[in-house]
Amino acid sequence: MTAPAIVATDISRTYELDGVSVPALRGVSLTIEPTDYVAIVGTSGSGKSTLMHLLGGLDRPSGGTLLIGGRDVAGLGPAEMAKLRNETIGFVFQSFHLLARTTARDNVALPLVYRGVGRRERRARAAEMLERVGLAHRLDHRPNQMSGGEQQRVAIARALVTEPAVLLADEPTGNLDSATGQSVLALLESLNDDGVAVVLVTHDRDVAARARRRIVMKDGAIVPLAGEDA
């Protein structure tokens, strides 16, 4: 097996809110392997999103060391972090975060813009990716012309178009009905089978149970589970 995609060692994150320190994450250590499928569960406010933001290089830890794609984020500036995210990470959000006035194809192509890929190739790769998530017939639809499940598939295609090492999905089914949610999760599982590491925040116990690894968070820390390799 190749080098781990993400290595977090004793990372913490403390928010400063009106002079009050809010410790959202306290000493989390976690390694994401290139073929991992990790489910993160935990109560609301336990620090799941904070952890996802750190793993994805959207934020930097207040303490500990974090290696993304082998690079220590402590030494990186905002522009380098942006490049790192673009090359290594794909994000999927609970509320899709698609650009409203933009077609599915152009939404998916967006990360390639910031990679400097030409328009023709961007459009070709976006179409290919939409086909892979089963939306070949929705290329020129805008978000408001698509169902929630379709929108989330577009978001997943967008996360995949840069061929990232890790796909981070923070409650991707939170805004979907259960049947649609199931199909989105099935898609994520099939992507994982194709070799993309997936880290998933979910409330669904069945989904969590199907994951290769399960991580439970509480009060900003990982709860050690008997009988599981956390």
Partner 1 sequence: MRLAEAWRVAIDALRANRLRSVLTMLGVVIGVAAVVALVGIGTGTKGQIEQQVEGLGSNLLLVVPGRLEAGSAPAASTMDLDDVEAVARVVGDRDRVAATIASGETVRAGSRSAFASMQGVLENTPDVFVRKLDRGTYLSRTDVTTGRRVAVLGAGTATTLFGDRDPIGRQITIGGVRFRVIGTFERLGQSLGVDRDSEVHVPVTAAQRLLGTDRIDGLAIRAPDRERIGQLSTAVVKVLTDRHPDTDFSAVTQEQILGVLGDILGVLTGVLAAIAGISLLVGGVGVSNIMLVSVRERTKEIGLRKAVGARPRDIGVQFLLEAVLLTTIGGVLGMALGVTAALLVDRFSPVPAAVTWWSLALAFGVSAVVGIIFGVVPAQRAGRLDPVVALRTE
Interface residue list for Mg ion (CB under 5 A): 49
Q: Does 222 bind ligand ADP (CB under 6 A)?
A: no
Measured from the CB atom, the residue of 15 and 114 that comes closer to ligand ADP is 15
Candidates 95-103, 129-137, 187-195, 208-216; binding stretch for partner 1 (CB under 8 A): 95-103
Q: Does 48 bind ligand ADP (CB under 6 A)?
A: yes
Binding string to partner 1 for residues 140 to 179, with x set by CB under 8 A, is what?
A: ------------------x---x-----------------
Candidates 35-43, 50-58, 140-148, 197-205; binding stretch for partner 1 (CB under 8 A): 50-58
Task: Collect all residues with Cβ–Cβ distance below 8 Å to 12 and sequence separation of at least 6.
Answer: 23, 25, 26, 27, 28, 61, 62, 63, 64, 220
* Among 183, 179, 100, residue whose Cα is nearest residue 134: 183
- Whose tokens are 């669904």? That residue is 204
Q: Does 48 bind partner 1 (CB under 8 A)?
A: no
Of 11, 25, 53, 201, the one binding partner 1 (CB under 8 A) is 53
Which own/partner contact pairs does 208-215 have at CB distance under 8 Å and 24+ positions apart? Answer: 208/39, 208/41, 210/39, 211/37, 211/38, 211/39, 212/36, 212/37, 212/38, 213/36, 213/37, 213/38, 213/39, 214/38, 214/39, 214/41, 215/30, 215/38, 215/39, 215/40, 215/41
Per partner kind, with CB cut-offs from 5 to 8 A, the member of partner 1, ligand ADP, Mg ion, none near residue 24 is: ligand ADP
Q: Does 49 bind ligand ADP (CB under 6 A)?
A: yes
CB of 115 to ligand ADP, least distance (A): 28
